[in-house]
């Protein structure tokens, strides 16, 4: 018997990432495998910061 796998998948809960999760379960997963689902949330922190200050300049942090 094969060793149980650990399968990680990142999702943003769009239609395509849900389809990718379903494909992964149907094609890669076996009984006893462990899934680690990582939720990727789109967050534009740069926009949030400048929205409060009113600044419209683009800054690059090096």
Per-residue pLDDT tens for 8-45? Answer: 998 887 899 899 999 999 999 999 999 999 888 766 65
β pairing state of 34-39 and 6-11: parallel
* pLDDT for the residue numbered 3: 87
Q: What is the mean pLDDT of residues 43-49?
A: 58
Per the listing, tokens 């200050």 go with 53
The model's pTM is 0.56
Domain coordinates in residue numbering, the chain: 6-53
Per-residue pLDDT tens for 51-60? Answer: 555 555 555 5
Region of 31 (left: φ > 0; alpha: ψ -120 to 50; beta: rest) is beta
Q: Count Cβ neighbours within 10 Å for each residue of 27-62 and write b for 16 or more, e otherwise.
A: eeeeeeeeeeeeeeeeeeeeeeeeeeeeeeeeeeee
């Amino acid at each position: 018997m094969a060793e149980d796998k650990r399968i990680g998948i990142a999702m943003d809960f769009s239609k395509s990432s849900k389809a990718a999760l379903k494909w992964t379960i149907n094609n890669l997963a076996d009984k006893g495998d462990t899934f680690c689902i990582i939720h990727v949330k789109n967050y534009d922190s740069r926009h949030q910061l400048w929205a409060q200050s009113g600044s419209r300049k683009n800054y690059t942090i090096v």
